[in-house]
Structure 1
Amino acid sequence: MAKLKVAVIGCGSIARHRHLIEYAANPEAEITAVCDIVKERAEEMAVEYDAKVYTDYEQLLKTEDVDAVSVCLPNYLHAPASIAALNAGKHVLCEKPMATSREVAENMINAAEENNRKLMIGHNQRFVPSHQKAKQLIESGEVGKIYSFRTAFGHGGPEGWSIDGRDSWFFEKEKAFIGAMGDLGVHKADLMRYLLGEEFSEVAAFVETSAKGDTDVDDNAVCVLKSESGIIGTLVASWAYNAGEDNSTIIYGENAILRLEDDPKYSLVVQYTNGEVVNYELGGIQTNESGGQTSTQVIDHFVESILEDKEPLITGEEGKKSLEVILGALESSETKKISNVRG
């Protein structure tokens, strides 16, 4: 069977460390074109993956006969590039956050529907083994009623990860739209929706710029969330965890406490109310720190969704719902009031 022809738009860090590597490792996909506004970056990746070079994604979409594209651009370009690709008849995997507003996210979803193409958002937290195991335990009823949770995602900031370092678009509000909340917080909003199996209805938040100088995007945020059934918990996103990364989640249930990515050895620790403790070694979470890189499974899932013509786990609709949690948090921080998650 012919391989799925793929183009990667944007050749920065996320493309290099995730998308390109994982497409190249997938036997059913073939990278045929790469695009970056900085020609040298595109050329470097083109040599590595034997692909054609473009500096204009519209030209690429017009010229190249590809089946699917990955959109790995700054946040403000996610929607325009995704919509252009969908209208050109390509399936789209878009990095998170999918858009900068609810309306723009809806435009992306509509473009996918109108063109009968798949739109997937790159929320890789759903594929982490400990998170999938925790979801099974919750769904089976073993944990009992869920009362509360706390989830955090923090590291020292994108300057240690982005290809442009401190000059990265991550720190420019007109390009990034949001900082740590868009980079990290939206991942955890998506994860908690997935684990709990329900939507959040209300959010209260403090969203601050306190750790990084000379930027107007948030770098520290603390949110209190309430789900539709009344589960309450906290979500923290930070670019100020300078000594190391925190990617932990703790879920407090009637019969057990689940500790996810909270122990250096065991990716999931289940503490039962009867005193029993079960430790799971399920393989590590993806990390921005060197040495711990594993496949995110996002690309494999996207390719499989196209080839088998099935809905991806994180559709545009799912991406929008996770974005809405973050938009509600920003609104709460600005108004100093509790926000409804969906307007």
Structure 2
Amino acid sequence: MAQVKVGILGAGGIAKVHTGILRRDDRVQIVGVADISADRAHALAGEAGGARPVGSLEELFDLGVDAVYVTTPNTLHVEPVLACLQRNIHVFSEKPMSTSLEGARQIRDAAKVSKAIYNLGMNRRYASVYKRLKELIASSELTPYLAHIKMNRGELLQPEWTANPQVTGGFLYETPFHLIDLCRYLFGEVESVYCQGRQNLSAAELDTFAFVLSFTSGTIANFVTYAHAGWSFPFESVEVYGKYATAATQELEKVMYAPGLKQAAQLHDFFQVPIEEKWGYVEEDRLFIDAILYGSKPPVSAEDGYRSIQLLEAVYESARTGEKIELFKYAE
């Protein structure tokens, strides 16, 4: 069986998640781990089962990698991704694609001409609860007229970098971006957004957002996200309302579907499923390797990722200006 030689760039927490999954895939050989910290590179290389610890992306290239996982901080994604695509080396980039629309545009354009596959890591699309929501909508069992989305953090204290927009790109580029992208995945393209933003406890950036998304499909969604909610459960939830029907998630653990009048609700509980599986990491990694080996469609393409950055930037623009933003203004 052919093996994909993978390099890992950035040896933080999410890199450990992907490393653990890829190690169990017989189609993958992790050949190198690069990090500016030699200690972190050595530690993760040991977990990867014989990978070589190195200090740079160029050294991963020297190892003859077929693909690179870019698991660096948010603001450090564009340069290594472009370097991979220019060398026709497949790249899996953790979210976000970029922390600017210009950076996302550069990656999208590079992916169009590269012979390599670009994939954006948006694990929520493959999380168990959201796969169930997607099935209900795709099958027309639930037509989404209205939705309410909540994605809060507990604080921006630990780790300290979460409070630094020079690292994160801004609060929305951290965890909230997952559900901003998920809105497009579930309900289609956004027509307009109107946002109110506040700077309540964070000294460096907006940390409180409430916005309304209007979709070309006709769905309306209310989205709230706050940076200092104290990890009150559930800090992540999606509620979708259709004709006498409701679907609602609690964290990534449970999804309830009430199909109609005088009918019993259906509850799916994924509490016992391992985190890397129920959060979607296993499936997105498998689909990425499938795309490399078999030419299938990657989970989240460059064009798809670019559209989610367009939406996030429109939210920020509306928060800054107080104006409703029509998404067609970003069209090219």
TM-score norm. by structure 1 comes to: 0.87
| Pairing of 1:56-205 with structure 2 (within 5 A) | 56-61=56-61, 63-144=62-143, 146-157=144-155, 159-160=157-158, 165-166=159-160, 168=161, 170-179=162-171, 181-196=172-187, 198-205=188-195
Cα deviation 1:135-185 (Å, max 9, x = unaligned): 2221222224x211011122324654xxxx22x2x3322332212x11122
Unmatched runs of 5 consecutive residues or more in structure 2: none
Moved >3 Å (runs of 4+): 157-160
Report deviation, 1:336.
Answer: 1.0
Distance (whole Å) between structure 2 residues aligned to residue 52 and residue 219 of structure 1: 40
Report deviation, 1:249.
Answer: 0.3
Taking a change above 3 Å as real, the CA distance of residues 13 and 210 of structure 1, as seen in their structure-2 partners, is farther
Taking a change above 3 Å as real, the CA distance of residues 157 and 98 of structure 1, as seen in their structure-2 partners, is farther
Counterpart AA for 2:182? L
1:279 equivalent in alignment to 2:266: yes
Cα deviation 1:313-332 (Å, max 9, x = unaligned): 21111111111111001000
Counterpart AA for 2:230? N
SS of the aligned residue for 1:274 comes to coil
SS of the aligned residue for 2:77 comes to helix
Name 2:34's counterpart in structure 1: 35
Distance (whole Å) between structure 2 residues aligned to residue 223 and residue 134 of structure 1: 21
| Pairing of 1:202-213 with structure 2 (within 5 A) | 202-212=192-202
SS of the aligned residue for 1:281 comes to strand
Q: 2:275 aligns with which of 273, 293, 297?
A: 293
Taking a change above 3 Å as real, the CA distance of residues 285 and 323 of structure 1, as seen in their structure-2 partners, is farther
Cα deviation 1:169-226 (Å, max 9, x = unaligned): x3322332212x1112221121121112x201111123333234xx513433222111
Distance (whole Å) between structure 2 residues aligned to residue 229 and residue 281 of structure 1: 27
Instruction: Tell me, yes or no, if the aligned pair for 1:118 and 1:311 is still in contact at 8 Å.
Output: no
Report deviation, 1:102.
Answer: 2.2
TM-score norm. by structure 2 comes to: 0.90
Cα deviation 1:222-248 (Å, max 9, x = unaligned): 221111133211122333231345221
SS of the aligned residue for 1:141 comes to coil
Name 1:334's counterpart in structure 2: 320
Taking a change above 3 Å as real, the CA distance of residues 208 and 29 of structure 1, as seen in their structure-2 partners, is farther
Name 2:54's counterpart in structure 1: 54
Name 1:289's counterpart in structure 2: none
Taking a change above 3 Å as real, the CA distance of residues 133 and 123 of structure 1, as seen in their structure-2 partners, is same
SS of the aligned residue for 1:89 comes to coil
SS of the aligned residue for 2:194 comes to strand
Identity of aligned residues (%): 25
Instruction: Tell me, yes or no, if the aligned pair for 2:154 and 2:229 is still in contact at 8 Å.
Output: yes
Distance (whole Å) between structure 1 residues aligned to residue 310 and residue 81 of structure 2: 19
| Pairing of 1:214-225 with structure 2 (within 5 A) | 215-225=203-213
Report deviation, 1:262.
Answer: 6.1
SS of the aligned residue for 2:132 comes to helix
